[in-house]
Structure 1
């Protein structure tokens, strides 16, 4: 990114198009002077831009003619977003007006800002670390309330604090290793191989915990793919319609009505989900149905979560007391699921709700009973599904804020791989000076999360994804 923090930059900070308010932001050493050249105060008591105070006046265009009635504010550094002197002009939000205000600022000494340059300056000036800067962009692009909540937690620095605490532990271990190398004849407390290996494993376990949140980050930013699967006539299409609140899928009493998959987007209390209704799994009697069944199996492979729908009306009480899953389709779904989380739904519970529930053949899967004709039970099923999607890999609830994005995940995985290799070296009896090298590399990878050791090209790539006004 060809920029310099010695320049004073300006950009439109509000979305393109017309609106009630438009904001032009100016940042840099000459921000106050640029503002003064283009602002004509209306108050006779105006004195040199009282900091953090909105001043009413006229903004002047490139020819010193009044352009709009505006509010202007000056925010001196370092207590500003960028850490520099910052000025903002709040004008009416017409596209021409806002562009004319920006042009006036540029002609009076500012330079047009590049993508993400304001946030990059905040990072360079120590107002936020790289993970917090990324959280700013993720907040702007948040597709759901859940993504917004996790983005705010990252902006607060929770992820950065956790990774920095782990990096500090590695630095402490490295210091102990250096002492052991420099003074091999002396006794160094706590530096025997088992204790050292246990300390490394503690950090590794914490990293694995952080990495569990990467799945949640992807689900929240991109939405989750949820596949409804099971036998024919189990009620998958009816449940999909109930979740959507409208009749999207065709429903009949004829088994095998759904021949192909149907996809629709819905909101699970702030979590975006793409529901996929699939053809019932059975031995197909014709080529068209066979193609639909194969597509169903492919969708199961791509799913973030599977809703296994059981026909409670057909299974009856005997299905709930069986030791082995009585439905071939259900057995196939559970076998194909692998590590994909599964919600087992005993559907049509209004026809038959067994005394023993859940069935004995359901072991570690989350399950619930529902009926497509009961709003309350469908809402309960939706809550079970939402909790399943936001759970950790081991099924426990996710910790607030610990949802690293793709770049952060790669850095955490690289650090974990280095520590895994380090433990293998220690167990193999390799020398401590080799251990110090791996500790250095792992600590450097953790520093990448907050940007302490990120090269310029990484910073360019991160901030180029921002909008110009941020």
Structure 2
């Protein structure tokens, strides 16, 4: 089946999120954009003659019977100097769903086709306005959970990652040329690349690739947010802590054990770091099938968590349930929270078994709000591992790009090992060609339709 994104149809879509809003945008791209806009738009000014490039024109959109649909601002951006590289028209109207749908339907009735997911950005990529790394950065910008994540996406959107990959490929292409000379003129007295120089350059490129890969883990929490799971026995105060961290009553808090039978999830922002909080079911033996399923889900979340807050009620010695839970948790991904410091029976020494097992501990009162700010600071520090805000020029590949980079680094390492074994240059050149081809998958010079579809299908319609 022909991919509709490969066609030259004029496409249209609502470019703003679903729902009601103050302003909405209809985007049209393709050779018929201007004629469609001319058929729909009536300027309010008596001196208007035609849509001028890169100007906002005030007027009305008319339906097929000549009735006004809405007051709008209309902009025309001729290709190739537009987002898609084609003629583009954007209609800014009121953001109600009925208004947007009515205007879109009029555009479709005049010859436009409804855009596929990511088709506007796909056309920008195919028309050379963006490389593939920049196209991916567009969707990362849209879904950025924090300002830091937005900045990391912006660095890639500016083309810095694509430029870096092009520089690395250029070094490898130079090596390929030198190897080709050595293979084609083996008996001529032509100065060619020595094995030592080949290994040196390959190792330098691989080192730079590995530096890019190191940024993936270093910036992951900024780009994707982090999962923090609240765990502990029933009535340890998990729900109270959830509410204290959120600053509102999200979880039900009672003296009755087992109130939380499933898990609750909410998000908070800790000084620019997006945190997903998960309040899990209290740990205890149970015959209740629903509660047992909740406990199993809690264990799965603990395995996935970037940090587990293990709550302990320190008004009495730690229970066997708490100690058993501690036994399955890694100390480097756990913060032991000694709760209920506001009560007379609180004794921090009850938490000694956790300290002895290597867990960092912190004393709080979730109900009274004592030391919650300190806890938030420690959560943030533990997740970031001492790293501050990302460097302004940090290049942070996404998961797909990291996989590609790792494959290229592996191929270069194999090249260096083969060189040490005195493998012939014509065979070594195959390694170099493979590494270059792999790297081109980041910028899109060589990319399969499956890869392109997977990337652009992750976009929303209208972008």
Q: Is TM-score (shorter-chain normalized) higher than 0.5?
A: yes
Deviations 1:103-154 (A, max 9, x none): 3333434333332221111111222222322332343344555654544444
2:279 aligned residue (263, 276, 291)? 276
Q: For this pair of structures, how many residues does the alignment match?
A: 445
Deviates more, 1:299-308 or 1:370-379: 370-379
User: TM-score with structure 2 length normalisation?
Assistant: 0.77
Name the CA shift for 1:87/1:244 in 2 (closer, same or farther; >3 Å).
closer
2:55 aligned residue (50, 53, 56)? 53
Aligned partner of 1:321 in structure 2 is none
Whole-Å separation in 1 of the counterparts to 2:421 and 2:331: 32
Deviations 1:159-184 (A, max 9, x none): 43444444344334444544554566
2:17 aligned residue (15, 36, 59)? 15
Give the 3-state SS of the residue equivalent to 2:122 in structure 1.
helix
Whole-Å separation in 1 of the counterparts to 2:181 and 2:356: 57
1:384 aligned residue (378, 386, 391)? 378
Deviations 1:30-65 (A, max 9, x none): 322332233222222223322222212232322444
Q: How does 1:66-465 map to 2 (within 5 A)?
A: 66-142=68-144, 147-179=149-181, 181-182=183-184, 186=191, 188=193, 191-192=196-197, 195-196=200-201, 198-212=203-217, 215-216=220-221, 219-220=224-225, 224-229=226-231, 236=238, 238-245=240-247, 246=249, 248=251, 250=253, 262-269=263-270, 271-277=274-280, 279=282, 297-309=299-311, 336-337=328-329, 341-345=333-337, 370-372=364-366, 375=369, 377-391=371-385, 396-397=387-388, 399=390, 402-465=395-458
Whole-Å separation in 1 of the counterparts to 2:94 and 2:192: 73
Kept in 2, the 8 Å contact 1:142–1:148? The answer is yes
Gaps of 5+ in 1: 316-325
Whole-Å separation in 2 of the counterparts to 1:108 and 1:48: 18
Deviations 1:6-51 (A, max 9, x none): 4332222233454433322222233223322332222222233222
Are residue 40 (structure 1) and residue 42 (structure 2) matched? yes
Whole-Å separation in 1 of the counterparts to 2:362 and 2:130: 44
Whole-Å separation in 1 of the counterparts to 2:15 and 2:258: 52
Whole-Å separation in 1 of the counterparts to 2:232 and 2:97: 53
Whole-Å separation in 1 of the counterparts to 2:447 and 2:100: 35
Aligned partner of 1:62 in structure 2 is 64
Give the 3-state SS of the residue equivalent to 1:191 in structure 2.
helix
Give the 3-state SS of the residue equivalent to 2:379 in structure 1.
helix
Whole-Å separation in 2 of the counterparts to 1:37 and 1:59: 9
| C-alpha displacement of 1:271 | 0.9
| C-alpha displacement of 1:273 | 0.5
Question: Once superposed, what is the RMSD of the aligned Cα atoms?
Answer: 4.2
Name the CA shift for 1:280/1:168 in 2 (closer, same or farther; >3 Å).
farther
Whole-Å separation in 1 of the counterparts to 2:98 and 2:200: 67
Deviations 1:419-463 (A, max 9, x none): 343344344443343333223222322222222211233223322
Whole-Å separation in 2 of the counterparts to 1:91 and 1:457: 36
Gaps of 5+ in 2: none
Kept in 2, the 8 Å contact 1:300–1:336? The answer is no
